[in-house]
Chain A
């Protein structure tokens, strides 16, 4: 029943790898201390002697760490040992590895080395982190991990591809150009500028600035009497416009630098994402580790029919770069995004599946929320300010519009064994979940939902912690929720392993 666990990964003896990190870590590790120390030194905050001692300590601890760090890949198991006082030994069986990322920050590129991040199921951090390897070593390690994974893949009838693919892909010097395989996405600089202009960063900035301006606008009269020379309305507007422009420019720069030369390549049964101008990355995701895909559209991109595509993979560390985590398409038309999702799931029909809207009761729920959001502040404002406080009733306009938009976002559908759900007000997310990837299901109903005859079906899949709550059918009719739950449960028990048939043509 479980071929994956029986077929022990066979690694040729030649692919036994291991050793220490690249000696460049001796500089790369203290690097993070050097910069703040230099700043402190230059601003005369600390004495030179203090800085020297701190630097010496950092270097010494780096040397000790280097000497006590070793890694080894043999017989399908990656072992990383480290630690001075308490030795830590991390053992990662290859079949648990979800993705392998190669990262080259500027400091890595100076020495021509690569950081390797290996993500496995479970745990919240990066399971295997090798801070610096030579490019050749990193590439051999990546190839070995992936080759072994291919051998470990369960063999299916008539599957001729279950041999070790020894073709290694050279780490692209300029990311993307040396990569073999079928190029699915390539971003041009102009597209990156558009991505920056419509990115969430600007969305947040616009909202914040709008709110700030409104706040200042209300107090404008008082400010005007207090400080007439310093804060004229024109100056305020100018200040706001300047900040807005700056945030756009910043967003464009950040986006362009981060996603420079963005390439998504499919090679046999793996996806490779390469990107970055200063910090270069090459992420590898085996296609069968893809748990779900989702199309994201924020407020700015929706009217322009633009969208981004993200992938859900288990085991990625949350935190630092959740924004770019799992990004497969930074920006494209909605059509492109849907086509890409269809191609990656080997189900082209999902591209144009029509989503069933949720019952009107779902709209009533959102409208009553809008009513609460309007009435409560109005009551407070009216109580304190008298009749002028009733102006707070104007909140009703955005609240009702938001409620309608949130309702219109809701939808569910299915095509070729892929469940499609959509929701979200600020960021509209359409999730595509192959039924075979479901781990478990839950039907939940709050008191409000029960009174409205609604329920939510959570589609629980292996994924990584992050801002996203996971795919769910939000506010479906209670009867339908139960039908869906029963049907999916029966399908899971029957063992419809759709993922086994995926992407392996």
Chain B
């Protein structure tokens, strides 16, 4: 477990886990995020096209929806790239570290002994890309941690491993 910290792209962004081996998500998750982004961009573009059709804008027909689509695609491409580069996690012997975020960076630490329950979730898109997300909850208010884009077997394996941890309920 005591491996060196993998170098990250952004030197400002040293990972706080220290001695942990932070690993990236499954690379396929980028396709999932692209697909999701594409769906949103498509919806927005359709709406833009409809408005463009109805209000007869001063710009040439189709320019606005096209611009929206191109701009949206660029934002999706960049944000997926950044998000994938940022997202790292480490399941250590006794705690789970997750780093995430594009503009707002978050590093979460969840001691495994505090886990109340662990879910794996799979939407239709996840299934298509054979991915699964792992959601962990502690007794704290709100969701504590989420790992999207794990390989299905990896997610199941992790869930089994986390579920085996003896939970310390004394404090709640």
The chain A residues found within 8 Å of chain B, CB to CB, are 1-5, 95, 121, 154, 288, 314, 436-437, 439-447, 450, 460-465, 470, 481-482, 485-486, 488-489, 492-493, 495, 497, 499-500
Stretch at the interface among B1-9, B38-46, B50-58, B163-171: B163-171
A-B contacts counted at CB < 8 A amount to 107
Determine whether the beta carbon of B166 is less than 8 Å from that of A2. yes
Chain B interface SS verdict (over half):
loop
Nearest Cβ in chain A — how far from B40, in angstroms? 22
Determine whether the beta carbon of B110 is less than 8 Å from that of A444. no
Nearest Cβ in chain B — how far from A17, in angstroms? 25
Determine whether the beta carbon of B111 is less than 8 Å from that of A442. no
The chain B residues found within 8 Å of chain A, CB to CB, are 12, 14, 16-18, 94-95, 101, 103-111, 113-114, 138-142, 144-145, 166-172
Determine whether the beta carbon of B103 is less than 8 Å from that of A446. yes
Whose C-beta in chain B lies nearest to the C-beta of A492?
B111
Task: Assess A441 versus B109: contact at CB under 8 Å? Given A450-B12, A462-B140, A462-B141.
Answer: yes
Max count, chain A CB within 10 A of own CB: residue among B101, B111, B167: B111
Determine whether the beta carbon of B171 is less than 8 Å from that of A445. no
Question: Roughly how many angstroms separate A305 CA and B15 CA in the complex, as a whole number?
Answer: 42
Determine whether the beta carbon of B141 is less than 8 Å from that of A463. yes
Determine whether the beta carbon of B16 is less than 8 Å from that of A439. no
Nearest Cβ in chain A — how far from B102, in angstroms? 10
Nearest Cβ in chain A — how far from B72, in angstroms? 21
List 20 other contacts, CB 8 Å, given A2-B168, A485-B109: A2-B166, A2-B170, A154-B170, A439-B110, A439-B114, A440-B138, A442-B107, A442-B108, A443-B16, A445-B106, A446-B103, A460-B141, A460-B144, A462-B140, A463-B141, A464-B141, A465-B141, A493-B95, A495-B168, A497-B171
Determine whether the beta carbon of A443 is less than 8 Å from that of B114. no
Determine whether the beta carbon of A499 is less than 8 Å from that of B140. no
Question: Roughly how many angstroms separate A465 CA and B142 CA in the complex, as a whole number?
Answer: 9
Task: Assess A1 versus B106: contact at CB under 8 Å? Given A439-B138, A493-B95.
Answer: no
Question: Roughly how many angstroms separate A431 CA and B113 CA in the complex, as a whole number?
Answer: 24
Nearest Cβ in chain A — how far from B15, in angstroms? 9
Determine whether the beta carbon of A442 is less than 8 Å from that of B169. no
Task: Assess A2 versus B169: contact at CB under 8 Å? Given A460-B144, A492-B111, A493-B111.
Answer: yes
Determine whether the beta carbon of B16 is less than 8 Å from that of A482. yes
Determine whether the beta carbon of A121 is less than 8 Å from that of B139. yes
Instruction: Please give, as numbers and ranges, the residues of chain A lying within 8 Å of B108 by CB-CB distance.
Output: 440-443
Instruction: Please give, as numbers and ranges, the residues of chain B lying within 8 Å of A5 by CB-CB distance.
Output: 167, 169
5 A–B contacts from the bound complex (CB under 8 Å): A439-B110, A445-B105, A450-B105, A460-B141, A493-B111
Instruction: Please give, as numbers and ranges, the residues of chain B lying within 8 Å of A436 by CB-CB distance.
Output: 171
Whose C-beta in chain B lies nearest to the C-beta of A481?
B16
Question: Roughly how many angstroms separate A463 CA and B101 CA in the complex, as a whole number?
Answer: 25
Question: Roughly how many angstroms separate A464 CA and B139 CA in the complex, as a whole number?
Answer: 11
Nearest Cβ in chain A — how far from B144, in angstroms? 5
Instruction: Please give, as numbers and ranges, the residues of chain B lying within 8 Å of A497 by CB-CB distance.
Output: 168, 170-171
Whose C-beta in chain A lies nearest to the C-beta of B110?
A440
Instruction: Please give, as numbers and ranges, the residues of chain A lying within 8 Å of B95 by CB-CB distance.
Output: 489, 492-493
Determine whether the beta carbon of A492 is less than 8 Å from that of B114. yes
